[in-house]
Amino acid sequence: MLDIGAAHRAEYEIGEDQSAPVTIAEAPGRIHYLGEHGEPKMGLFFSSAIDRYARVAVSLRKDNSLRFFAADLGERKRTTLINLKYKREDRWANNIKVAIHLFADMGFRAKGMNFTVAGDIPQQVGLASSQAIEVAAVMALKGLFHAPVSEKELLTRLCAAQTDFFERNPAPVDYQVIFSGKKDRFLVVDEPALSVRKIKSPITKYRIILMDSRVPRMGVEDELRERRKDLKKGLELLSRKKAGTSLRSFAGDDLVEYMGNLPEKIRRRCMHVVQELRRVGEAADAMEKNDMAALPRVFFHSHESLRDLYEVSCPEVDWLVKRAQEMEGVLGSRMTGQGFGGCTYTIIGENALEEYRKRLEDYERIFGFHPLTHEIRPAPGARIVSQAEHPRREE
């Protein structure tokens, strides 16, 4: 990745004499290995931050302009604090604006600021690249203002700022993973409790290969909206038989008894969610016990459930997972992200990599899409890389 400090100084013609100190922060992307497509705001996830980052540099200006530079794209945007608002055409810059909005609400203001953003998180494949920019910008501003605010409070305020700025109610889990990541640690994230359990990786000698199927995706949001409606309806029907405020209430041994009479489509959707809750616990236990026999079953069963019960996979992605499943040396493979295309991840031993790459050649020949691969690993969370001198707070 490029030197964002040098790019920032070159863009805004800042010298090396520290007359305009630059604060730099970074935030990782994240991946959910299990737990996606659960009940909104009530999820349990098996996740990690990944070693791909968004980086944001910020420095003060003498005028009242807010300038934004995307170094990777060569794009520039601008506004002022008084005109700070969401603009669809500003795209990536909106993710920095929401961080400015957050700190302005806390009373941390500056007349003008320069921002530069760069990163190496793959785009549009469900790795939370936008959320990483937001968190990197929040951490950069925390460093710029030397703000005495905890990461937990920043997470809460960032969710609130999203609601104010974008008029949407975000899921906090992505921010939780980005803030909480640690090298070679998997995370069990309880979304409603905002709690994180960190598990030391027993698979550091394996590779995690993210595979972008390159399948065009259309109408995904409409499809996912219908499935969320099914979950809501299922909870309503189940609650007539047993008191419960979420599908978690039905994840025990009485699962079949209570779900047996639901309409078939709704039963399948709800069954996926409650069984996935169990699988997150099973994966965590297997990791802690170094049970390499149990892990493949958990990951493959999860993909089968996404394919057959929640129905968010597609033939191309199913082919990639099945080919991986057939190989020796593979600990797990599954789709990740919103589905209907997108990515798979495969946890694979070094000695199986060559055979795996050969099978990807078959994929392109059969389906006509050239897949992209990215090797990732669990990585540290958001941090301030370098910090400016304490600026004067504007009143």
CATH number assigned to the domain comprising residue 215:
3.30.70.890
Q: C-alpha 207: how far from its chain's center?
A: 19
- Other C-beta atoms within 10 Å of 232: how many? 14
Closest to 112 in 3D by CA, of 146, 149, 78: 78
- Share the mean pLDDT of the chain: 91
In a domain, 394, yes or no: no
Same domain assignment for residues 265 and 342: yes
In a domain, 391, yes or no: no
CA distances in angstroms from 384 to 60, 93, 294, listed in the order given: 17, 20, 38
Same domain assignment for residues 362 and 344: yes
Closest to 238 in 3D by CA, of 188, 274, 189, 194: 274
The Cα–Cα gap between 298 and 272 comes to 13
The confidence score (pLDDT) of residue 395 equals: 42
Tell how many helices (H) and how many strands (E) occur in the chain: 11, 12
Same domain assignment for residues 220 and 192: no
Torsion on CA atoms 189, 280, 288, 321, rounded to nearest 10? -120
Same domain assignment for residues 172 and 216: no
The confidence score (pLDDT) of residue 327 equals: 92
In a domain, 346, yes or no: yes
Same domain assignment for residues 323 and 291: yes
Same domain assignment for residues 165 and 246: no
The Cα–Cα gap between 159 and 165 comes to 10
The confidence score (pLDDT) of residue 394 equals: 47
Beta bridge pairs of residue 46: 34, 188
User: Which residues does the annotation mark as catalytic?
Assistant: 174
- Other C-beta atoms within 10 Å of 222: how many? 8
Angle at which helices 173-180 and 129-145 cross, to 10°: 60
In a domain, 393, yes or no: no
Same domain assignment for residues 136 and 244: no
Domain count, the chain: 2
Residues 6+ apart with CB under 8 A from 29: 49, 50, 52, 53, 54, 121, 122, 127, 128, 129, 132, 178
> What is the residue whose two structure tokens read 């349990």?
44
Torsion angles phi and psi, residue 297, rounded to 5: -60, -40
Under DSSP, the state recorded for 23 is: E
In a domain, 9, yes or no: yes
The confidence score (pLDDT) of residue 368 equals: 93
In a domain, 189, yes or no: yes
Q: Which two tokens stand for residue 199?
A: 């598990």
Same domain assignment for residues 217 and 131: no
In a domain, 392, yes or no: no
Under DSSP, the state recorded for 394 is: P
Helix (H, G, I), strand (E, B) or coil at 185: strand
Concatenated DSSP letters of 358-385? HHHHHHHHHH----EEEEE-B----EEE
Same domain assignment for residues 121 and 249: no
Same domain assignment for residues 151 and 220: no
Same domain assignment for residues 297 and 214: yes
* CATH (domain of 145): 3.30.230.10
The Cα–Cα gap between 391 and 395 comes to 12
Residue 25: domain span: 4-200+379-386
Angle at 103 between CA 101 and CA 109, to 5 degrees: 95
- What would the pLDDT profile of 364-381 be if each residue is shown by its tens digit? 999 999 999 999 999 999
Residues of the chain scoring pLDDT < 50: 392-395
As a residue count, the chain comes to 395
The confidence score (pLDDT) of residue 74 equals: 95
Same domain assignment for residues 222 and 131: no
The radius of gyration of the chain from alpha carbons, rounded to an integer in Å, stands at 22
Q: Taking a C-beta distance cutoff of 8 angstroms, is the pair 2, 13 a contact?
A: no
In a domain, 349, yes or no: yes
Q: Is 113 exposed, middle or buried (0-12, 13-18, 19+ CB in 10 A)?
A: buried
